[in-house]
């Protein structure tokens, strides 16, 4: 692993453990046993590091449109993958709006990606309807289902945190129960 890459990993670990304000570039350098100057040779500031971590997050979660889930079973597998990525970069979702208020470039980047993500979720719901697995009665219900998936993917762990629940790789999967419950009234039961 290159030094540049190793710095990103060390930053990710510290951000997840504490928060992006406590973990300064000096702390990140210290945790690796390198000088602050060496870190700043690779990265201008903490904002640059956070932006690059965000780009890695996007790379890890992005699926091309061809790969979008076409069945409920595929959607479940897809959700599991996204939850793993969310967990890996959990500092980001904990601080998301605070990070936006400090870095408008990051905010613009995220919003653009998120709008595209929302369009893909809409596409998935419409695929499930075409495939006879979901019955979506009207556009309000479609909007609600899409909202449920996106809202909970971004904020369900934060929600659990506000109730004092321990968040770990296991509990991070609870969001699946939430999205399943949102879809349940609209799932078409197959005759067996």
Q: Does 18 bind a copy of itself (CB under 8 A)?
A: yes
Using CB under 8 A as the binding criterion, the count of chain residues that bind a copy of itself stands at 42
Q: Does 136 bind a copy of itself (CB under 8 A)?
A: no
Q: Does 159 bind a copy of itself (CB under 8 A)?
A: yes
Tell me which residue has tokens 């700043």.
40
Could you tell me which residues come within 8 angstroms of residue 17 by beta carbon, excluding any fewer than 6 positions away?
23
Single residue of 151, 171, 173, 176 touching a copy of itself by CB under 8 A? 151
Sign, CA torsion 169/97/76/53: negative
Site mask for a copy of itself (CB under 8 A), range 171-190, x = bound: ------xx--xx-xxx----
Site mask for a copy of itself (CB under 8 A), range 83-122, x = bound: -----------xxxxx-xxx-------xx--xx--x----
Q: Which residues bind a copy of itself (CB under 8 A)?
A: 18-19, 21-22, 94-98, 100-102, 110-111, 114-115, 118, 140-141, 143-144, 147-148, 150-152, 154-156, 158-159, 161-164, 177-178, 181-182, 184-186
């Amino acid at each position: 692993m290159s030094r540049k890459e190793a710095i990103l990993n060390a930053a990710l670990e510290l951000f997840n453990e504490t928060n992006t304000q406590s973990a300064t570039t000096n702390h990140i350098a210290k945790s690796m046993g390198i000088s602050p100057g060496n870190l700043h040779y690779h990265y201008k500031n903490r904002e640059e590091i956070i932006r690059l971590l965000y780009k890695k997050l996007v790379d890890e979660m992005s699926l091309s449109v061809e790969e979008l889930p076409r069945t409920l079973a595929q959607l479940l597998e897809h959700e599991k993958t996204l939850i793993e990525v969310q967990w890996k970069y959990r500092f980001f979702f904990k601080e998301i709006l605070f990070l936006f208020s400090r870095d408008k470039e990051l905010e613009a980047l995220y919003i653009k990606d998120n709008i595209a993500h929302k369009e893909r979720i809409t596409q998935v719901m419409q695929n499930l309807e075409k495939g006879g697995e979901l019955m979506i009665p009207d556009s309000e219900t479609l909007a609600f289902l899409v909202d449920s998936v996106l809202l909970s993917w971004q904020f369900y762990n934060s929600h659990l945190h506000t109730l004092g629940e321990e968040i770990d790789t296991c509990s991070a999967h609870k969001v699946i129960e939430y999205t399943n419950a949102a879809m349940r009234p609209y799932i078409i039961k197959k005759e067996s």
